[in-house]
């Protein structure tokens, strides 16, 4: 039967070939565009029709609108001078993987609904584990974001604690103690969100002070847990971080694990950004202690050149995760259930994209050497940038450079913290508004700090040098009152 607006395969071929060429040009020349979109709030929306079309429109018209209407509203994460937040950049093999995933559109909710989805995920995540030089015995699964990975890890911890929250819930149970989670004051907000969602309550997320290098102070962790136990609380989990968001500091995982073990806590390591650096042989130490943890998260869509989204949760105790979430309604019963892993059993989501494909293609396209070389190069660029800052009068580094992030600021002598915050915010906004470079900021205690985060597949030395030029020019213009 022929239906209104049927698209011909030829129309698809033509449009998709055009899109491929457009993307290839875009990626070769993303420097044409301002890194940070310059549009005002509402400007993109105002250009789009308020109502959907009655009849279908040709694909070519949409490609035109993507380029002319939407593109000005894109902040270019693929731009080699994108230094804000943490990078996520799309490498060629990753894009190719996404294209194939969309075409196949397999849904790996059950093993049988596409065995290759489940099995390639297992193989690829085992490869990634080996690349990071971790021991075996880890169960890996892909989630969309680190926030979900951490949420699942803490759900497994809650289940393993033995209070049967799954069945009985947490309210109106006089026998149930407060369940407490510990992380450093520099931990990511995703831990707060997980604690909210799981019904643990933000009051029960204990933030342990960090040392002068922004690492969790393990002695204070032990004090906090001991005090909580004495007060009748139940210590549920500790979440040390390998590569914090503000400074990429690395919590002392080995010591944290040792303390946590004494109290029966689950240890979940947040290595969302930093974990993949262990692919570089001389950086393997950053995951010291992780093999003794219960779970950890690493995000290939950050520093492993895999398009959004792709986070990986590894757990030692997949059974706990499965006990937390597995349910088998009749309409999902299949004959093979005894023989194969059904990934829907390990989380909330039922539907599952074939995300492993893009990651597998990235790992194959670069190989261990290629990945290590890129990550090493990014760390080298960060050290070079830090050197430039360090030796320039009036500027200072505000945190150690552990990986590929540099924290720094202009700090003329005699200025108050409030003045420095205003000054550096103005420098950042001036640089970002020019559009050649994009960076972001954080606060370390009361110290307003700029962040230059390197990790884009296309970033080269010249882009880091450009950032430094732009920063000094902006600083000069502002301090000279322009």
Nearer to a copy of itself by C-beta: 94 or 240?
94
Task: State which residue, 16 or 255, has the beta carbon closest to a copy of itself.
Answer: 16
Sites for a copy of itself among residues 351-380 (CB under 8 A): 351-354, 357-358, 360-361, 363-370, 373-374, 377
Tell me how far, at minimum, the Cβ of 168 lies from a copy of itself, in Å: 5
- Residue placing its CB nearer to a copy of itself in the complex, 257 or 459: 459
Binding mask 1-40 for a copy of itself (x = CB under 8 A): x-xxxxx-x-xxx-xxx-xxxxxx-xxx-------xx-x-
Among 268, 409, 441, 472, binds a copy of itself (CB under 8 A): 441
Q: Cα Rg for the chain, rounded, in angstroms? A: 24
Between 123 and 255, CB nearer to a copy of itself: 123
Minimum CB–partner distance for residue 258 and a copy of itself (Å): 27
Give whole-number Cα distances, 391 to 271, 385, 387, 388, 408, in Å.
31, 10, 6, 5, 12
Size of the site for a copy of itself (CB under 8 A): 177
Chain positions 49 to 68 lying near a copy of itself, rule: CB under 8 A, are 50-57, 59, 61-63, 66
Shortest separation between residue 155's beta carbon and a copy of itself, angstroms: 6
Residue span 158-197 as binding mask against a copy of itself, x where in contact by CB under 8 A, dash where not: x------xxxxxxxxxx-xxxx--------xxx-xxxxxx
Query: How many angstroms separate the CA atoms of 236 and 180, rounded?
Result: 5
By CB under 8 A, which span of 206-214, 222-230, 408-416, 439-447 interacts with a copy of itself?
439-447
Binders of a copy of itself in range 75-94 (CB under 8 A): 75-78, 84-85, 88-94
| Minimum distance of a copy of itself from residue 426's CB (angstroms) | 11
Which of positions 254-273 make contact with a copy of itself (CB under 8 A)? none
Residue among 329 and 393 whose Cβ is closer to a copy of itself: 329
**455 interacts with a copy of itself by CB under 8 A:** no
CB of 69 to a copy of itself, least distance (A): 8
Among 32, 209, 264, 429, binds a copy of itself (CB under 8 A): 429
* SS3 per residue for the chain: CCCCCCCCHHHHHHHHHHHHHHHHHHHHCHHHCCCCCCCCCCHHHHCCCCCCCCCCCCHHHHHHHHHHHHHHHCCCCCCCCECCCCCCCCCHHHHHHHHHHHHHCCCCCCCCCCHHHHHHHHHHHHHHHHHCCCCCCCEEEEECCHHHHHHHHHHHHHHHCCCCHHHHCCCCCCCCCCEEEEEECCCCHHHHHHHHHCCCCHHHEEEECECCCCCECHHHHHHHHHHHHHCCCEEEEEECEECCCCCCCECCHHHHHHHHHHCCCEEEEECCCCHHHHHCHHHHHHHCCHHHCCEEEECHHHHCCCCCCCEEEEECCHHHHHHHHCCCCHHHCCHHHHCCCCHHHHCCCCCCCCCHHHHHHHHHHHHHHHHHHHHHHHHHHHHHHHHHHHCCCCEEECCCCCCCEEEEEECCCCCCHHHHHHHHHHHHHHHHHHCCCECEEEEECCEEEEEEECCCCCCCHHHHHHHHHHHHHHHHHHHCCC
Residue 364 to residue 305: CA distance in whole angstroms: 12
Least separation in angstroms between residue 269's CB and a copy of itself is 18
Nearer Cβ to a copy of itself (289/463): 463
Q: Which is nearer to a copy of itself, 257 or 407 (CB)?
A: 407
- For a copy of itself, which is the closer residue by CB, 289 or 301? 301
Q: Which of 98, 228, 294, 470 binds a copy of itself (CB under 8 A)?
A: 98
Residues between 293 and 352 with contacts to a copy of itself, criterion CB under 8 A: 301, 307-309, 324-325, 327, 329-333, 335-336, 339-340, 348-352
The residue among 203 and 414 lying less far from a copy of itself, judged by its C-beta, is: 203
* Calpha distance 41→359 (Å, rounded): 34
- Judged by beta carbon, residue 77 or residue 139, the one nearer a copy of itself is 77
């Amino acid at each position: 039967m022929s239906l209104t607006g049927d698209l011909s395969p030829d129309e698809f071929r033509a449009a998709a070939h055009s899109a491929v060429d457009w993307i290839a040009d875009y990626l070769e020349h993303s420097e044409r565009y301002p890194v940070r979109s310059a549009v005002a709030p509402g400007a993109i929306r105002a250009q789009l029709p308020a109502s959907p079309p009655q009849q279908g429109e040709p694909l070519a018209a949409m490609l035109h609108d993507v380029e002319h209407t939407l593109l000005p509203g894109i902040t270019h994460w693929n731009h080699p001078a994108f230094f804000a937040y943490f990078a996520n950049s799309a490498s060629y093999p990753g894009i190719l993987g996404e294209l194939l995933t969309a075409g196949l559109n397999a849904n790996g909710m059950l093993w049988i609904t596409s065995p290759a989805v489940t099995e390639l995920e297992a193989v690829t995540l085992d490869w990634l584990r080996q690349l990071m030089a971790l021991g075996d015995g880890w169960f890996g699964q892909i989630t969309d974001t680190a926030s979900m990975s951490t949420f699942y890890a803490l759900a497994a911890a809650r289940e393993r604690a033995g209070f049967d929250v799954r069945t009985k819930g947490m309210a109106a149970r006089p026998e149930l103690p407060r369940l407490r989670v510990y992380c450093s004051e520099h931990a990511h907000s995703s831990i707060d969100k997980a604690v909210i969602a799981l019904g643990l309550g933000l009051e029960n997320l204990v933030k342990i002070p960090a040392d002068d290098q922004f690492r969790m102070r393990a002695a204070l962790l032990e004090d906090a847990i001991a005090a909580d136990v004495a007060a009748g609380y139940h210590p549920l989990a500790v979440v040390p971080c390998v590569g914090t968001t503000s400074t990429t500091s690395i919590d002392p995982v080995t010591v944290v694990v040792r303390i946590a073990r004494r109290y029966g806590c689950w240890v979940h390591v947040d290595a969302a950004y930093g974990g993949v650096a262990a692919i570089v042989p001389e950086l393997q130490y950053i995951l010291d202690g992780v093999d003794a943890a219960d779970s950890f998260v690493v995000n290939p869509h950050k520093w492993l050149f895999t398009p959004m989204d792709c986070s990986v949760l590894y757990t030692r105790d997949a059974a706990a995760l499965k006990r937390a979430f597995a349910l088998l309604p009749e309409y999902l019963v299949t004959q093979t259930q005894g023989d194969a892993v059904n990934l829907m059993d390990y989380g909330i989501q039922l539907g599952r994209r074939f995300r492993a494909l893009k990651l597998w293609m990235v790992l194959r396209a670069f190989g261990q050497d290629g990945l290590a070389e890129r990550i090493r190069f990014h760390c080298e660029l960060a050290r070079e940038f830090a050197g430039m800052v360090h030796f320039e009068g009036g500027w200072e580094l505000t945190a150690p450079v552990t990986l590929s992030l540099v924290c720094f600021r202009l700090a003329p002598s005699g200025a108050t913290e409030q003045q420095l915050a205003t000054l550096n915010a103005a420098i950042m906004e001036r640089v970002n508004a020019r559009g050649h470079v994009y960076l972001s900021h954080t606060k370390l205690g009361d110290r307003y700090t700029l962040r230059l985060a390197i990790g884009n597949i296309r970033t080269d030395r010249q882009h880091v040098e450009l950032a430094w030029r732009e920063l000094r020019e902006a600083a000069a213009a502002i301090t000279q009152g322009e």
